[in-house]
Amino acid sequence: MFGFFKKNKGPFNATISPLGKTISVKGGSSENLLKVALENGINWPYNCRVGSCGSCKCKLVSGQIKPLNDFSYVLTGEELDQGYILACQTMLRSDIEVEVPLEANGVELAKSRRIEGRISRVEKLTHDILDVGIELEAALTDYLPGQYADVTIPG
């Protein structure tokens, strides 16, 4: 009884064009589209992950989303009218399809991967900023200037 009041909280499928790859995204605020795409090895362009740079923009072809923040601060009115969204600020409300450019200025972005390393030096720059040097086990040969790396320290 009253089942029509229930909201479907996922998980939902996101189909990524032109790859044709589909990923599963949990409902609720725990996962955004960009986070899940990166975890699934999709070379999605991004920089800030907080909705201020616009690098992760993609076109919503079908489905319903819930923006975590207002896209109009970053996207133009024309982009909004054309259905563009920010993947880092997008929760899914249904299965969706999005189109995302997987190249940056004609250059294929580096593939997501895990590289082990060790901290080689630490220098205190201010009371709350450290300069940390990391020696990696493999070179970042396909890294492009401006790309980010996520660093995880065990324990």
**pLDDT on residue 46:** 85
Per DSSP, the three-state class of 73 is helix
**pLDDT exceeds cutoff 70 at 4:** no
Contacting residues for 49 by C-beta, under 8 A, at least 6 apart: 34, 35, 56, 88, 148
Q: What is the pTM of this model?
A: 0.67
Dist. CA 32–CA 81, nearest whole Å: 22
What is the band of 147 on the pLDDT scale with cuts at 50, 70, 90? low
Q: Which residue has the tokens 């409902």?
A: 27
Average pLDDT, the chain: 85
Q: In 3D, which of 69, 68, 56, 70 has the Cα closest to residue 98?
A: 56
pLDDT score for 154: 79
pLDDT value of residue 119: 92
How far apart CA 48 and CA 54 sit, in angstroms, is: 8
- Unique residue bearing structure tokens 């969706």: 96
- pLDDT in the model for residue 132: 92
Bigger pLDDT: 29 vs 120: 120
Tell me, what's the pLDDT at 45?
A: 86
**Structure tokens belonging to residue 49:** 């992950």
State residue 106's pLDDT score. Answer: 53
Residue 74 near residue 90 (C-beta atoms within 8 A):
no
Q: In this predicted structure, what is the pLDDT of residue 131?
A: 94
